[in-house]
Amino acid sequence: MNRLKVKANTAFNYVFALLFGIITVLVVVVLFKNIFVILFALAALFVFTAAGTYIYTNKKTPTAKQADIVCIIILAVMFILQLISGWCLMSKPITDWGTVDHMAHNFATDGNFDDMYRGLKPASRGYMARYPNNNGILILLSLYYRAIYLIMGDVPNYAPILLNTVFIAVAVLFTFLTARKIFKPYGVIMTVVFCFLFMTYYTYTAYYYSDSLSIPFTVMSVYFIVLSAKLPKERLVQRLIYLALSALFISVGYTIKGSLLVILVGAVVYLVLYNKLKQALISILCLVVAFAVFNTGIKTFINSFEFTTKEELYEEQFPINHWIMMGLYGDGGFHQEDAVYTNNAGNYDQKKAADNKMIVKRLKDMGLPGMAKHMCKKLTFTWRDGIYWIDHHLNSKDANGNQIADRNPLFEFVLRDGDYYNIFYVYSNGFHLAMIILMAVSAIYGAKRKRITSMTLIRGIVFGAALFFMVWETRSRYLFNFTPLFILTAVAGLNSVVLRIQVYKRNKRKKLAAKQKEKSDAAANES
């Protein structure tokens, strides 16, 4: 059985490497029109590898305590910069983000959802019935705004940015804590350095939507699964408590962003591979039952607000297959025509039937060759954007929608019409490409290891997310809440490269020493 599990793990890593190898090629082809992106990615890879090689070569490699001190300092500086970035990039909420934010503000002043569409366009009526996937983010923001309103008599524009910044900072903190459990001190430091250099952790502070507000729950749930796996098998109760905590965070994250369900699936597969049969069954039962209990409790809590009725849901709600249908058209992203098509189909059952009909039609029209081409197009659309589409959502308008006269320098970097946007574009996309390459590399080396480790879990979730967005409606920003796992996977790849270089240098020194010994022995014999 163990041999079979190892073979399954090896096969998975090769498939992971193949998928992200394909993604790398697709992204490079698209980004090649701006050669500076490619050059920056290669330069970043060289610098990271050289730094790692130097540290490992140096006899005074950092201890765990020294690494912790360095990381805490970096994290503190990073948090300050995030707060500044959020303040400077404050924007007028638009699209779905704006709709949810507006309804949450209405709740803050009213204390109920009776008139939550007040001030919105007539077309927004029934929004929550059509898109109940936003229930979690609406409740979170509404309760937060209400608490601030009761204390201050108003909801300052910076209030949601502060919440969002704290959530992203918590995600970075738990990325560091997870790295401490799976890497040596150098890997821990590089994980925090990657987080520090990852521009999106600054630009997203001003964009407080489900993508960013779900991010801490992604890495927190993974952290407690890793903690559980690291404990001795005799400490069963503590292991199960950690799994239950993981289930809690998956439930909360799933309520805010549905894609987090892949963590549960990835965790179940990992527990099967990592544990013996009896322990696997107990662990999976604990995780799944805890998730079901927490998820039911959260749903019951949300439903208690009664901002939609069963009748409204039946008439307005979009079925799940709507997003699958949308993912089969064009580049796989949002299309207004598809939204209108589903909305005009009738009640829930009629919408579902109409979407199924369109899914079948699109699959038939494409055929297998067309489907393969579509998947490549979709993968490119999802993974090519290292900015994670933040330049679409941020704008230089105040809370009332008025254009800010004098934009601060950060806007000039982040906005598409900014004077320095190209610098931001090259840096963000180059760094993103470097991470993708290292992610593929990590799986290649992972396949050669005859052990199932915590990285099996992390790569499994990343792989699951990639597959999910090959089926679902997609966009680069949908990847944001998985970026802590991207960074951990990339650092694992970097560690593997550095280790291989070290092994090569060590073997080279041994061969050189052996030759010198042979020469000295020969000289001694001659004398």
Which pLDDT belongs to residue 525?
Answer: 67
Question: Mean pLDDT of successive 10-residue segments in the chain (527 residues)?
Answer: 82 93 94 91 94 75 88 97 95 91 95 90 88 94 96 93 97 97 92 96 96 97 95 89 97 96 96 88 95 96 89 91 94 91 92 95 92 94 94 80 76 91 96 96 86 92 96 94 97 91 79 75 66
How many Å from the N-terminal Cα to the C-terminal Cα in the chain? 61
Specify the pLDDT at position 370.
92
Is the separation of the CB atoms in 429 and 37 below 8 Å?
Answer: yes
CB burial class (10 A; 0-12, 13-18, 19+) of residue 476?
A: buried
Specify which residues 397 forms β-bridges with: 403
Structure tokens at 512: 């050189």
Q: What is the pLDDT of residue 241?
A: 96
Would you say 382 and 474 are in contact if contact means Cβ atoms under 8 Å apart?
yes
Give residue 338's pLDDT: 92
Q: 250, 186, 204, 219: which is closest to 56 by C-alpha?
A: 186
Instruction: Note the helical H segments in 231-347.
Output: 236-256, 261-274, 277-303, 310-316, 321-326, 336-343
Residue 179 DSSP SS3: helix
User: Using CA atoms, how far apart are residues 73 and 251, in angstroms rounded to an integer?
Assistant: 32
Position 302 scores a pLDDT of 93
